[in-house]
A and B are shown apart, each in its own frame.
Chain A
């Protein structure tokens, strides 16, 4: 064989070194486990590092922000798809998990009166309380904390430039599966590393690279978390729920996909227009991300899209107002500074002054589904919220890799907290599980080592990087922001075709940084993930949250909620089914709906006012948000709900 295999033993393998991975490793090590962190990118260089750096910290802004309030907020926003035990865990741990970032060096501003981290002045992105804490240097400050968390502990070994290829499983003695380790390609040393370990925590992020360049996330999001779990036979949940940000740049090419705004930044008079100038969505600032994305994509579908496959975000009416216009500009510039900077650099001066509309297009941002787990990140199967006895023993997932926290919609600023909460929980559970380790049979690794080894020196006439590009184009069209049964069929056909060609990919024999091999492995994961999304998207035959079906209607908030569950059966065939979720009591749902409609009526009234009166009204509102000094609070990429509704309730 062209490549050597090194053998190692650990208690816990953690795949990924971002917010979830670093906390999992640290927590497991704290409980005495010997931990190996495997990261294909340099340590800490994850979506956490490039985020807006705003984290949900319960009760940072209000004493009545109880665990029950936050937990329900998550579930209602998520269309009742989230699992109650999991949202409860999020609410219970958000403060202590956030403090772990601080132990590793994150330093927020402090509200000395309340003796808590200082939250932003308004509830954000669908939150019903002020609880989002912003940070200097945004995600980079979190990146340092994650890096420190991995590097600091002598109990943690790590490999960077190392691709986790597959889980290795064995029989758990009761007819189920258990983890016995994993196989890794260490590109910097040119070796396969076979690791015997009873626990593996998957924290390898999301899948947005399926849609590259129509995404604002890290390149490494090739669906590794989901593909690895699915191939091992784990359940995955709500895989159709991909969150798209509506306002990403469509040009110039170097800026394609980067974030340029959120519904909230469109402010009171921002509208979406098609290529002919017709308004396709008004009251943008009150809309969800999904509503905005769907409006843009429907215009594109009807042949009225912009030259680069998007639409126009027109904020010129805000700017033209003599009194409130200057406030708007300050709001726009400071609300999401990095997004505004992207727009200014990409679209030029006149657009930056909002003297002309911006061409925008949705971009993939986050997968709200993922590996199906319990509140400790342990793999589950079966009915309802699931049971660990029906999952894979020793398998855990945390962060974007896991499902069940957000369902169909994600509140703003929750993902950094999610990483820490479930990273810590999964790390602790993995360490505890590893204490009862059973004998590991090396023979279980054999087939995987052989298969990976054979790839080196594989003869062929195709480049995996080229197939990857085809897959990315088709994923946007078929399993992207809008879907139809016909396109899902087309996707399945293409995936089968590409998969059949993997054996024809040419790979040189050398071991050190073999890019062709890396491309092949990532392509394999992207194909598997695309399959999971496609089959779940077919099962969800109506639009809900991040999932928009052009050929079906909306799924009513009053219908019986369900999650989609996908898994490979014993024969390797992909199966999909539904599990019912409890619905929020009707009375509470009605209250939410009423509030939402009232906000829409208000925006209509504002838009129809005589100009002078409207301008005065707007000035009053901006002053209320921005304070007397006129300095706007920094507001995050908001959540799915018309978050801005709360934000602008002046």
Chain B
């Protein structure tokens, strides 16, 4: 079975046509199996992230035929193309730099706890949101995230735009950062002021880009549009443009 693996070394991109040898009859390998075998044979220095091999840790996301997939639980077929997630800058081979996402949440996570009693149950929606494994598949096609790259992708930015420094934290948000903020809002231990601050942060991060957006897709099935975006838009009513504030439009669709 032939699978194309896109590599990046020292700034050079290449495509390696890797011939996967099935380990048992009828095997339908996951993308991660292909990468592991390639590393064990023809490409010993192939760089890719993985962790638990059971769809829990969220680090092995790559693009398969241009769509973000969790490599340990995505089967590949003959002729498939494995490349790094297009939505974040490449560090080496299939490894992208994730740092700019987490860092933009610095200083935005406190809910200003009310009281000292921790023995309060959270509503179901809180747990729905905590199911996020931080795989970043939701960045795909997000117009808010694309603003960081002049409306394009880190590897294909429009002329005249400088790549942002991930070490500073990205200026514009994404479905994951909105989920983190909404989680603060539905936490029963968050003080009222904290709920409002969370909405302020969502607006700062570019919530207006969500108006009129066709929607984001979660890698593990969380209802991002219903449980995150719609809730935040409702809370920020009157503060984001009603006519749709997405300058870049929808990417990748």
A interface residues with partner B (beta carbon < 8 Å): 41-45, 49-50, 99, 102-103, 105, 107, 109-110, 112, 115-117, 136-141, 143-144, 147-148, 151-152, 154, 160-161, 187-189, 213, 216-220, 251-255, 257-258, 338, 342, 463-466, 469, 508, 510, 512-516, 518-519
Contacts and interface: CB of A to CB of B under 8 A. Distances in A.
Contacts of A251: 24
Contacts of B62: none
Most buried by A among B47, B130, B187: B130
A587 to B, nearest CB: 39
Contacts of A137: 127, 130-131
A512 B91 contact: yes
B46 interface: yes
B98 A160 contact: yes
Given A50-B51, A105-B187, A469-B40, A512 B10 contact: yes
Contacts of B32: 254
Which applies to chain B's interface (DSSP): helix, strand, loop or mixed?
Answer: loop
Interface in B1-41: 9-10, 23-24, 27, 29-30, 32-33, 39-40
B91 A147 contact: no
Among A41, A44, A137, A187: residue with most chain B CB under 10 A: A137
A141 B102 CA distance: 17
B98 A151 contact: no
28 contacts: A43-B102, A49-B57, A105-B183, A107-B127, A110-B119, A137-B127, A139-B56, A140-B130, A140-B131, A140-B132, A141-B130, A143-B133, A144-B183, A151-B105, A160-B98, A219-B52, A253-B23, A463-B44, A463-B45, A465-B40, A466-B40, A466-B44, A512-B10, A513-B93, A513-B95, A515-B93, A518-B47, A519-B44
Contacts of A148: 109
A232 to B, nearest CB: 27
Contact of B118 (A49, A99, A255): A99
Contacts of A50: 51-52, 54, 56-57
A515 B132 CA distance: 28
Nearest to B105: A151
A453 B167 CA distance: 24
A516 B57 contact: no
Which of A50, A187, A463 has the most B CB atoms < 10 Å from its CB?
Answer: A50
A114 to B, nearest CB: 9
Of B29, B50, B53, which is in contact with the most chain A CB atoms at under 10 Å from its CB?
B53
B92 interface: yes
A141 to B, nearest CB: 5
Contact of B30 (A42, A188, A254): A254
B134 A42 contact: yes
Contacts of B132: 140, 144
B102 A515 contact: no
Interface in B34-75: 39-40, 44-47, 49-54, 56-59, 72
Nearest to B72: A254
Contacts of A258: 53-54
Contacts of A109: 121
A45 B57 contact: yes
Contacts of B238: none
B57 A218 contact: yes
B99 interface: yes
Nearest to B24: A252
Interface in B154-189: 166-167, 183, 187
A131 B185 CA distance: 30
Contacts of A188: 91, 97, 99, 166
A469 B37 CA distance: 11
Contact of B91 (A139, A140, A187, A254): A187
Contacts of A217: 52
A254 B33 contact: yes
Contact of A508 (B10, B44, B133): B10
A535 to B, nearest CB: 29
Given A148-B109, A161-B99, A469-B40, A512 B92 contact: yes
Nearest to A221: B51
Contacts of B253: none
A161 B131 contact: no
Nearest to A115: B119
Interface in B113-136: 113, 118-122, 126-127, 130-134
Contacts of A515: 45-47, 92-93
Given A45-B58, A49-B57, A219-B51, 10 more contacts: A42-B98, A110-B120, A140-B56, A140-B133, A152-B106, A187-B92, A216-B54, A253-B23, A465-B39, A510-B10
A116 B119 CA distance: 6
A42 B93 CA distance: 17
A252 B10 CA distance: 36
B227 interface: no
Contact of A161 (B97, B126, B127): B97
Contacts of A464: 44
A151 B58 contact: no
Contacts of B166: 188
Given A103-B118, A141-B130, A258-B54, A465 B47 contact: no
A510 B106 contact: no
Contacts of A252: 24, 27
B94 to A, nearest CB: 10
Contact of A107 (B47, B54, B93, B122): B122
B107 interface: yes
B45 A519 contact: yes
B92 A220 contact: no
Contacts of A469: 40
